[in-house]
Chain A
C-alpha cells in the first residue's frame, strides 16, 4: 500500500466516510486509450479515478506527481470541466502505488515525466468526468420523470429548467451509481469549455508561499535521526578503510555506518552528521573506472560515431550525399547534473516485516519495488509516502536514492532521514549523458535535397523502461531527429547506442530532443549560411507538411522583430522544433562582448501545444524551461578527472540567476488540437536558438555546449 502526503488541507478532504458515492474508473491498459470507456466501480474501489460523494465534490484520485509543473491543477480542470463543477469542487487524493491501475497511459508505469501527463490523461479523465455527468443527469431525470435531454448541468447541480427543479450532485450520487455508464460518453465541444483554455490559479501554490508545504526532505516521523552519506567518488569504487576516531568524538554523532560502497553518519541533526562525515578519513579503492575522464568519454563518443547504428529513417538520402554541395558538421553535448533545489533525500523506517518510506518521487512504484528489494520484503510490505517534489527534472525518476537510504536504514534503529549534501548531489549523481550528432546535407539550387543525421547517445528508455525499447531504436534518442519540421526530399536518420563509460546516465529535462533539436537547428543555420539564405526565409522555404510549425515560426519571428537592425556583435537566432507533441519556436537575441562573453538579452517563444488547458501554466513552464536550458547553454558541464567529478556545488556548477535572466516573451497559440507536452519543450529550444544567435552575431558557429567564450573573442576571428 502507499499513500501520499499532500499539503493542502482540502486535498485531504474528509476521508472516504462521506456516504454513498458515485465511483468511476477507466482502464488505462487498453491498447487504444482513445476508445477506453469509463465504468462503474464498487464503492471505495481501489481503481477508481473519481468518487462523488454526498458532499457533492468530486474526489480525483491523482495519478501524477506535482513537481512544480502544475499538473494537479491542469488535470483537476479536466474533471471539473466535463462535470460542470467549479474547480474548487474537485478535491485531490494521491493514487496509491499501483502500475496496473494508475500506470501513466503513455509509459504504462506510474511515473511522471517526459511531458506525458496531459497527453496521456486528456481523454481518459475527461471521459470519466463526462460519464459521471451523464449518470448524474440520468439519475435526476429518473427521479423527476423527465427526459434526460431536457436537463442540463451547472456548478455541481442538475437543473430542469422547464419545471424549475435543481438537485446537487451530492443528492444524486448514490442513485447515479445505479445508472448505466454511457457506452460512448459525450465530451464537450471546445466551444462549450468554461475552464479549459482559461488561466486558473494553481491548487498547490498557497501552501508553498508560507512554508507549510512538506517535501520529502521535511518528513519528520517521531524519533527520526538524520544521516549524511558519502558514496564512492569513482563509480564502482569500494570503501578500503575508514578512520572513525575523530568523527566519533564530535557532538551529536550517533552512529557510523560503513557499507561496501558508501559511508554514512547518523546524528542528532543533519549538520552533526555532515560535520562528522567530513571529519571521517575514508580511503577508497577506486577500481578500474578511475581511468575515466572527460577526455576518454569524449574520445569514446567520437569513436562510437564511426560504428554502424540502427536506421530510424531512410528515404534514400545516402546515395545523394556526394559530389558538390555536400555540407557536414558535428555537434556535441556534455554531461550535466540535474541539481534540483531540493537535494536528494529519503526517510526510511524499517521494522520487522515492514518498511515505511518518505520521499518525493516521479516514479512511486519503482521506489516501492526498490525499497522492497533492498529491505528483503515484498512491495506490499512497503509503504511509500510520496510528497510534492522540490524539482524533479528527471533526477527523481531514478530510485538509487531510495535504495541507498534503505541500505543505511537496515543498520539504524528507528526512522532515519538521509539527506544528500549538495556536494554529493552534484558530485555523484547519475548524469545527463554526453551526446554527439553528425550531420550531412546536400544543397542543390539553394535547397537541401538530402539530409542525414547520425545520433550517438545512450538508450535511457532502454534501461529505464525496457518494454518500450525494441533493442533497435530508443524512441527518445531519436525524438526531434527522426521527425523534423522540414520537408527533406530524402532523409537518413541513424542512431548509435553509446553508453558512456564510468557514469550512470539518467533522463534530464528535455531528454533526447535536447541533442537532436540543437543539432538539427544549428545545422539548418549552417546550411542556410552556405546557401546564402536568411535563416528565417530558408526555414520557411522547406516547411510544407506541418503548417503548425510554420505558424509558430512566423509568430515568433514577428514578435521578436526578426530583421530589425541590431548593434554590431549582436544577433538573433531561431530554433524550431516539433517534439513531445508540441510545436515551438524560440528566437534568442544575444550580444557578444569583445572578449567573447555572451549576454542573452531576450528570448521570444511561440508555442502551439494544442488546446492550451491552463494557458498561464503553459507560459510559466516555457519561461522556467527556457531558464533551465539557458543554464545548460551558458554554464552547464560536469567534467571528470581520474573518474572523479570536478564540480561540487553551485559555485562551480553554475546555474542562471536573476541577473542573467533575459526578457522572456511567450506567445501561446490557441487551437482545438489535442494537447501536447509542455514541461520540456522550452528547455529544448534554448541551446539552438542561442547558438544560432551567436553565429549571427559573430560568424562563429559553436558546435558544442556549453558556450566556450574563448572561441568568440574578437581578435580570434581575424
Chain B
C-alpha cells in the first residue's frame, strides 16, 4: 500500500511502487486531467507539481513521491499562480485542442509562482520542455505575461 497526498487529499493506492505517478493518477485514481504524451520526459503533457516544483510524472515512480505534496491540473486553480494562469489562458484563448494544456498550465503556474515577472528568456527556459502540436506557443507566452501583470 502506498500513500500519496494529491491536491491536499491523502490517497492510498494498492500498486507496484515502480508505477509512474502519471499512471497512478490516471488509471488508479481516475484523475485523467494529467496527460500521457511521450512517456520519456520529452513533451511535458504529464507535468504536475511536487512540492511546487514542476515534475514529469511519467518518469516519477510513485514510491518516490513520499510525503511531498502532489498538485495536478484538477487542483492548481486553488493556487494564486494557477488561478491567474487559467484566467489568462481563457482571456487570450490560448487553448486549441487542449491536450497539452494541463501540462502547459502546470509548467506556467510553477514558473509564475517562483518568478513573478518572467521575461522572454525565462519563459523559453521554463516552457520549452512542453510541446504543443497545435502550436499555441505565441499565446502561451502572452498568457504568462498577462498573468504576471495581473499578479
A residues near B (Cβ < 8 Å) are 67-70, 201-202, 204-206, 208-215, 217-218, 220, 226, 251-252, 268-272, 274-275, 339-343, 388-393, 419, 421-422, 616-617, 620, 623-628, 630, 649-651, 655-659, 661, 664
User: Does B130 sit at the interface, judged by CB under 8 A?
Assistant: yes
Chain B residues near A209: list those with CB within 8 A: 86, 89-90, 95, 98, 101, 105
Given A68-B96, A272-B16, A339-B133, decide whether A658 and B23 contact each other with a Cβ distance below 8 A: no
**Residue from B36, B74, B128, B136 within 8 A of A659 (CB atoms):** B128
Chain B residues near A657: list those with CB within 8 A: 127-131, 137
A651 near B42: Cβ-Cβ < 8 Å:
yes
Among residues of A, the one whose C-beta sits closest to the C-beta of B126 is A658
Q: Interface residue tally of chain B, by bracket?
A: 35 or more
User: Does B51 sit at the interface, judged by CB under 8 A?
Assistant: no
**Residue from A214, A215, A226, A626 within 8 A of B27 (CB atoms):** A226
User: Does B43 sit at the interface, judged by CB under 8 A?
Assistant: yes
User: Does B45 sit at the interface, judged by CB under 8 A?
Assistant: yes
Chain B residues near A625: list those with CB within 8 A: 135
A422 near B37: Cβ-Cβ < 8 Å:
yes
Which of B36, B93, B134, B137 has most A Cβ within 10 Å? B134
Chain B residues near A226: list those with CB within 8 A: 27
Segment 128-147 of B: residues with Cβ below 8 Å from A: 128-141
Question: How far does the alpha carbon of A271 sit from the alpha carbon of B140 in the complex, in Å?
Answer: 30
Question: Dominant SS at the A interface?
Answer: loop
Segment 1-45 of B: residues with Cβ below 8 Å from A: 15-16, 18-20, 22-24, 26-28, 30-40, 42-43, 45
B26 near A210: Cβ-Cβ < 8 Å:
no
Chain B residues near A388: list those with CB within 8 A: 97-98
**Residue from B30, B31, B74, B101 within 8 A of A208 (CB atoms):** B101
B residues near A (Cβ < 8 Å) are 15-16, 18-20, 22-24, 26-28, 30-40, 42-43, 45, 72-74, 77, 86, 89-90, 93, 95-102, 105, 123-125, 127-141
B96 near A341: Cβ-Cβ < 8 Å:
no
A343 near B36: Cβ-Cβ < 8 Å:
yes
For the A-B complex with A68-B98, A628-B133, A661-B141 known, give 5 more contacts whose Cβ atoms are closer than 8 Å.
A205-B90, A211-B74, A270-B26, A272-B16, A343-B36
Chain A residues near B89: list those with CB within 8 A: 205, 209
Chain A residues near B40: list those with CB within 8 A: 422, 649-651
Distance in Å: Cβ of A265 to nearest Cβ of chain B: 14
Question: How far does the alpha carbon of A31 sit from the alpha carbon of B99 in the complex, in Å?
Answer: 38
Distance in Å: Cβ of A607 to nearest Cβ of chain B: 15
Given A68-B134, A341-B132, decide whether A210 and B32 contact each other with a Cβ distance below 8 A: no
B97 near A623: Cβ-Cβ < 8 Å:
no
Number of A-B contacts (CB under 8 A): 183
Question: How far does the alpha carbon of A16 sit from the alpha carbon of B33 in the complex, in Å?
Answer: 30
Question: Dominant SS at the B interface?
Answer: loop
Distance in Å: Cβ of B129 to nearest Cβ of chain A: 8
Question: How far does the alpha carbon of A202 sit from the alpha carbon of B128 in the complex, in Å?
Answer: 26
Given A214-B32, A616-B93, decide whether A341 and B26 contact each other with a Cβ distance below 8 A: no
B35 near A342: Cβ-Cβ < 8 Å:
yes
Question: How far does the alpha carbon of A270 sit from the alpha carbon of B34 in the complex, in Å?
Answer: 14
Among residues of B, the one whose C-beta sits closest to the C-beta of A213 is B98
Among residues of A, the one whose C-beta sits closest to the C-beta of B58 is A271
> Can you list 14 A-B pairs with a CB-CB distance of less than 8 A?
A202-B93, A209-B90, A211-B31, A215-B99, A220-B30, A620-B139, A623-B136, A626-B135, A628-B133, A650-B38, A650-B42, A655-B131, A658-B127, A659-B124
Among residues of B, the one whose C-beta sits closest to the C-beta of A393 is B133
Chain A residues near B100: list those with CB within 8 A: 341
Question: How far does the alpha carbon of A560 sit from the alpha carbon of B141 in the complex, in Å?
Answer: 21
Chain B residues near A649: list those with CB within 8 A: 38-40, 42
A623 near B128: Cβ-Cβ < 8 Å:
no
A624 near B136: Cβ-Cβ < 8 Å:
yes
A341 near B37: Cβ-Cβ < 8 Å:
yes
B99 near A390: Cβ-Cβ < 8 Å:
yes
Among residues of A, the one whose C-beta sits closest to the C-beta of B124 is A659
Chain A residues near B139: list those with CB within 8 A: 620, 623
B97 near A389: Cβ-Cβ < 8 Å:
yes
Given A341-B43, A390-B97, A627-B135, decide whether A210 and B123 contact each other with a Cβ distance below 8 A: no
Chain A residues near B128: list those with CB within 8 A: 657-659
Distance in Å: Cβ of A636 to nearest Cβ of chain B: 12
B98 near A220: Cβ-Cβ < 8 Å:
no
Given A343-B36, A391-B133, A623-B135, decide whether A69 and B73 contact each other with a Cβ distance below 8 A: no
Chain A residues near B125: list those with CB within 8 A: 659
Which of A68, A218, A341, A623 has most B Cβ within 10 Å? A341
Distance in Å: Cβ of A686 to nearest Cβ of chain B: 10
Among residues of B, the one whose C-beta sits closest to the C-beta of A625 is B135
Distance in Å: Cβ of B1 to nearest Cβ of chain A: 14
Chain B residues near A272: list those with CB within 8 A: 16, 19, 23
Distance in Å: Cβ of B98 to nearest Cβ of chain A: 3
Across the A-B interface, give the 10 residue pairs with the lowest CB-CB distance, nearest first.
A211-B33, A627-B135, A390-B99, A68-B97, A208-B98, A68-B96, A624-B135, A211-B73, A218-B32, A271-B23
